Structure 1
Amino acid sequence: MKANVTTEGFRRYSGVAIFLHWLIAALLIVNVGLALSVDSLPDDWVRPFVNTHKSIGITVLGLAILRVLWRFGHTPPPLPTYYSRWEKVGSHVAHMALYVLIFALPLSGWMHDSAWKDYALHPMRWFDLFYWPPVSVIKDLEPQTKEAMHTLLGNIHTGLGYVLYTVLALHIAGALKHQFLDKEPEFQRILPGRSRS
């Protein structure tokens, strides 16, 4: 175990990156809760919960785009010098997986919804403020193909959700290890506060 780790080689993320990190994380956690609870809800609650789930998903997609655009102009801080080689590789792999998932999940959900045979009866409204368009190339498929796409995309969306749960658990476990077992200033890099970069 490492001891007496100093802040040498330690840098924080920018304020915008920190804000987007925690906002996206909070929305993902809420959406996981909505997805896991919908089957136990009274019938009258299902449609509002599903619509909220869809709205949050589209919001995450928009925020993910903003986060990538921000990252292009604002290089994130390097990993701390006290990370071992395998920890650096693991961190890079986990972050890449999370980036892929925060795009793939909402995109697969949007396509899944666009292939729903009853989409015309229940079009998506973003937080009940305005209509969000379906993916037209999917919505306009012939019914049998569209039904098969709906099933396939639903399975993909669900599978990606379980992958997200796993990667998030590993990401959180890694952060907790550095902070509490290795006594390193891990949380200080990403918690809100005065930024050094």
Structure 2
Amino acid sequence: MTPHTDRLPVDPNTTGIPAHYTRVAVLLHWTVAALMIGNVILGLGVESLTDAWVRPVVDTHKSIGITVLGIGVLRILWRMSHRPPPLPSSFSNWERAAAHCAHFLLYLLMIGLPLSGWLHDSAWKDAATHPMRLYGLLPWPRIGPVMNLHPSLKETLHDRFGALHVWLAYALYALLVMHIGGALKHQWIDRKSVLTRMVP
């Protein structure tokens, strides 16, 4: 067995391909899932908070977003160097295509959503006077070229990056519903489990 399979069981219907994701892939997957769902809750709930809570929650939302961005990059690098387990052989061609498309879009959002938020925050007119700290501890830079633009252009970009961030969030909501719904459908209705590939 090759080292990159992480000593996982091998699918008897394939040759040398692991039947489960590696332990690292499983850890990264569920960590990102928990962080993204938590950030969705923070983002949707911030408008109902009192003024005293808005800034701490927004700062936490930013910190989680940067964390997701970092872990998302790690996930992509790990995925490129470690072959994933195959989909069930009973999957039709359209189911395989849909699964690959959904995964590609989720990876895209994993990077694009926090990056658009970072750009939005960097174009904030008060960014220079309100330093960003990850979880209130670690100083984190804004994107310099954006911060140094003319104030009027920054204001325009701030609005546009904010709108992009919102639309990407809507896309994430839709994809999460389809991703989770599809996995549960395959598990309980079709009896073609894909969850077991990502369960520790």
Question: What's the secondary structure of 2:32's corresponding residue?
Answer: helix
CA 1:125/1:48 → structure 2, altered by over 3 Å: closer, same or farther? Answer: same
Find the counterpart in structure 2 of residue 172 from structure 1: 180
Find the counterpart in structure 1 of residue 30 from structure 2: 22
Find the counterpart in structure 2 of residue 63 from structure 1: 71
In 1, are the aligned partners of 2:88 and 2:192 still within 8 Å (CA)? no
The amino acid across from 2:40 in the alignment is V
Aligned-partner Cα distance in 2 for 1:175–1:8: 21
Question: What's the secondary structure of 2:127's corresponding residue?
Answer: coil
Work out which of the residue numbers 126, 132, 136 in structure 1 matches 2:144. 136
Find the counterpart in structure 1 of residue 102 from structure 2: 94
CA drift at 1:8: 4.9
CA deviations 1:44-94 (Å, max 9, x no partner) are 000000000000000000001111111122111122211111100000110
In 1, are the aligned partners of 2:87 and 2:194 still within 8 Å (CA)? no
Matches for 1:35-184 after TM superposition, within 5 Å: 35-184=43-192
Find the counterpart in structure 1 of residue 7 from structure 2: none
64-73 vs 152-161, which deviates more? 64-73
Aligned-partner Cα distance in 1 for 2:194–2:83: 18
Aligned-partner Cα distance in 1 for 2:54–2:86: 44
Q: TM-score, normalised by structure 2?
A: 0.90
CA drift at 1:183: 1.4
**RMSD after superposition:** 1.5
Aligned-partner Cα distance in 2 for 1:8–1:185: 15
Corresponding residue pairs, total: 187
**Correspondence 1:11 to 2:19:** yes
The amino acid across from 2:137 in the alignment is L
| Structure 2 unaligned blocks of 5 or more | 1-11
Q: TM-score, normalised by structure 1?
A: 0.91
CA deviations 1:16-59 (Å, max 9, x no partner) are 11110100000000000000000000100000000000000000
| Structure 1 unaligned blocks of 5 or more | 1-6, 193-197
Aligned-partner Cα distance in 1 for 2:80–2:167: 29
The amino acid across from 1:46 in the alignment is V
CA drift at 1:170: 0.6
Aligned-partner Cα distance in 2 for 1:163–1:185: 25
Q: Which has the higher contact order (CA 8 A, sep 6+)?
A: 1
The amino acid across from 1:62 in the alignment is G
- Please list every run of at least 4 consecutive aligned residues from structure 1 whose deviation after the TM superposition is greater than 2 angstroms: 7-10
In 1, are the aligned partners of 2:125 and 2:155 still within 8 Å (CA)? yes
